[in-house]
Amino acid sequence: MPTGKEPKGNGNDTKTLMSFIIMAVIFTSVINIFMSAVTSRQTQEISYTQFLQMLDDKKVATVERQSDRLIVTEKVDDESQVGLYQKHNTYIVGAVDDPELTDRIIESGAVQFSNVENNSVIYEFMVSWVLPSILIYIVVTLLMRSVAKKMGGGGGPMSFGKNTAKIYAQKETGVTFADVAGQEEAKESLNEIVDFLHQPEKYNAIGAKLPKGALLVGPPGTGKTLLAKAVAGEANVPFYSLSGSDFVEMFVGVGASRVRDLFKQAVANAPCIVFIDEIDAIGKSRDNQMGGNDEREQTLNQLLSEMDGFDSSKGVVILGATNRPEVLDKALLRPGRFDRRVIVEKPDLKGREDILKVHVKDVKLGDDVDLNAIALGTSGCAGADIANIVNEAALRAVRLGRDKVNQSDFMEAIEVIIAGKEKKDRILTEKEKKIVAYHEVGHALATALQKNTMPVQKITIVPRTMGSLGYTMQMPEEEKYLMSKEEMIEQITTLLAGRAAEEVIFNTVTTGASNDIERATAMARAMVAQYGMSDRFDMMGLESIQNKYLDGRNVRNCAEVTSAEVDSEVLKIITDCHKNAIDILKKNEGVLHKIAAFLIEKETITGKEFMEILESENSNDEKEKVNIEF
C-alpha cells in the first residue's frame, strides 16, 4: 500500500544540473570566442576615406550597409587565381552620414549593393548563446543516457550511479506467510521482525532492539525470495528488491554510490524491508590471495559502513539471500549487521505435503489423489520443484483430455522431473531391449531380496529424454533422516545389481551401468572419508563438503598417501557389494528370467505386479522343497 511518502530528493540532482549548465555555457563561450577569432582574422577594419578610394579605383565587389557599419568585399581581378578555399578580402567601415554614398556606389560600376537590418541583441544572444547551450545539453544527455542504460543506471545524466531498486507495495507483492509452506522454522524466525515493525513499543519497553539484518541461507528453489516478500507483506511496509549484481559495475565507485542512494531512500521510506538477493555477488570475502576486485570491495565497504550507520529503531530491515554463505566476508556476518541467520532448507515430508496443498489450491483434483503419497515420492525436492510437478501434472491432464488431475498424472510428473519425458523415437534393438530388461530387473530383485531397502514402485524399459534407457523407481515408506552402515551397503549392492545381472545372464558388460557405478562409488567414498564407517580409518574425517547448498563438492583433507589408501578401501567395499549382488541373482536366476520376460512384453510394470510374480515364484520353490522332503 502507498505510504504517502516519496523518497526525499537530495541536493545532488540540483548540483549536477547546475554544474552541467555551467559546463555548457563555458563550452559555448569557447566556441563563440573561437569563431570570433577566426572571423577577425578574415575581416579588416578600414577608414571611410580608404573605402571611397577603393570605389574610385573600382576595387569593390559588394557593399552591405547595416545601421552602424558597412561590410565591404574587395573585387579580385583574376577569378582563376582564387583557390577552392581562398576568399575575397572583407573590410568593415564605420558608418558615416553621407547622403551621396548611394549615388557614388552606383556610379562606381558593377557593385552589388544591399541594405540589411541589424539583428536585435536578444536575437543575437539566443543564436550565439542559448541555442548552442541547448544543443550541447541535448547531445550530452543522449550520450549519458545511452551509457547509463548500458551500465544499468537507468536513464538521464542525473541517474548514473543511482540504485535500481524496485519498490513493491503490499498490493503488488500479494504475498503473506500463508503463501509460504514447508518453512515453519524460518517463518518463526522472521515473524519477530514483523511483530517488531507492528508493535515496536512492546520491544522497546524491555530494552530489545530490532535486528538490523537477517541472512536467508539455503539451496536454490527453497523460497528465500518468497519469504522476504512475505515479511514485507505481513508487515505492510514498502519492499525494496535488488540483486547483488545490480551494484557492481565496470567503473569503480558506481556500486558504492548506489548503496548510499539505496539507504537514503530506505531511511526516507522507513519502516521498510530492503532485500538483496544473491548477496555473495558483492559480499565475497576480501581475503583473496589472488588479488581482489576494487569495485566489488568498495561496494562491500560502503554496505558495511551504511549498515553500521543507520538507526535500527527507524524500522529499516535488511534481508539478504545466498546459496554460498561460506564465501561471505566475516565482517558482513558479524552481529550488528546481519544479526540473524535463517536456514531455508529443503522441506521434509510434512513440509512437502503443505507445499502441495498451497500449489493445488487452484487445481481441480480427482478423487484418487493422495498428497501424502506424492510427498513421499518427491523426497529431496525443493518448493520450486514441487510447484513444477503440480504444473506438469495439470498439463498432462489437459493433454489427455481430462478436466481433473489424477494420481497417475502426479506420479508421471514426478518421473518427468526425475528422468525426463518418454523418448518414443528411440527404438531399441531386441538384444538391447533384453539387456536393459535384465539390468533393471537385477536392480529390482536386489531391492526386494534385502532387508534395509525401499520397495519397488515401478520398472520400465522405455527410454527417457535425460539419457536413461530404463529405470527402477523406488518409493520410501516413510521419511528418514539417518542411514545405517547396513542400509548404505545394501543400497550400493542394489546399484551394482544391474551390471551383475548382465554378467550373470550374458557373460559380458555394457555401458549402461555408468550412472550406477558413479553413484555407488560416491556413496562408498562417503562411507570411508566422511562417515567414519571404515575399520581402517576409524572415525577420521578425510574429506569435507564445500558449497553444500549447491553442488556439494568434496574436498580432500588428507595426504596423497592416505588418499591412495582411501581408494583401496573404497574399492574393497565396491568389490564386496558387487560379489554380493552376483550371489543374490544367481540364487534367484529363475525368477530373474520370468520377471525379465514379463517386462520385455509389457515394457512397464508396477511394483505390485513385480511383487506378485516374485511371491508366486517363492511359493512354488517352497512347494518343491516340501515335495522333496516327503
Give the SS3 label for residue 241.
Answer: strand
**What residues contact 89, with CB distance under 8 A and at least 6 apart?**
44, 73, 74
Dihedral of the CA atoms 10, 12, 17, 18 (nearest 10)? Answer: 100
Record the cell numbers describing residue 212, joined without a space: 538490523
The CA-atom distances, in angstroms, between 470 and each of 126, 164, 508 are: 82, 49, 19
Catalytic residue, candidates 278, 306, 392, 440: 440
CB 585 within 8 A of CB 504: yes
**Which residues pair with residue 546 across a beta bridge?**
553
Q: Given CA atoms 271, 272, 276, 277 in this order, what sign does their dihedral have?
A: positive
Strands 604-606 and 213-217: unpaired
Residues 290-326 as b/e (b if ≥16 CB within 10 A, e otherwise) read eeeeebbbbbbbbbbebbeebebeebbbbbbbbbbbe
Q: Which backbone phi and psi does 556 adopt, to 5 degrees?
A: -75, 140
Cis peptide before 271 (omega within 30 of 0): yes
CB 404 within 8 A of CB 364: yes
For the residues of 108-131, what is the DSSP string, one character each? TSS-EEEE-PPPPHHHHHIIIIIH
**Which residues pair with residue 414 across a beta bridge?**
none
10 Å Cβ neighbour count for 610? 24
Record the cell numbers describing residue 60, joined without a space: 569593390
Rounded Cα distance, 105 and 101, in Å: 6
- Report the Cα–Cα distance between both ends of the chain, in Å, rounded: 86
The CA-atom distances, in angstroms, between 548 and each of 456, 488, 552, 558 are: 29, 20, 4, 20
Give the SS3 label for residue 518.
Answer: helix
CB 173 within 8 A of CB 229: yes
Record the cell numbers describing residue 600, joined without a space: 520385455
The CA-atom distances, in angstroms, between 301 and each of 212, 252, 253, 269, 320 are: 17, 13, 11, 23, 16
3-state helix, strand, coil in the chain (%, to 5): 55, 15, 30
Record the cell numbers describing residue 429, joined without a space: 534393438
Record the cell numbers describing residue 221, joined without a space: 528453489
Rounded Cα distance, 154 and 168, in Å: 18
CB 542 within 8 A of CB 552: no
For the residues of 10-66, what is the DSSP string, one character each? -THHHHHHHHHHHHHHHHHHHHHHHHHHHHHHHEEEE-HHHHHHHHHTT-EEEEEE-
Record the cell numbers describing residue 432, joined without a space: 538391447
Q: Can you list the pairs that 256-259 forms with residues at least 24 positions away whose Cβ atoms lie under 8 Å?
A: 256/298, 256/299, 256/301, 256/302, 257/161, 257/162, 258/161, 258/162, 258/163, 258/164, 258/299, 259/163, 259/299, 259/302, 259/303, 259/306
Is residue 479 flagged as an active site residue? no
Annotated catalytic sites, by residue? 440
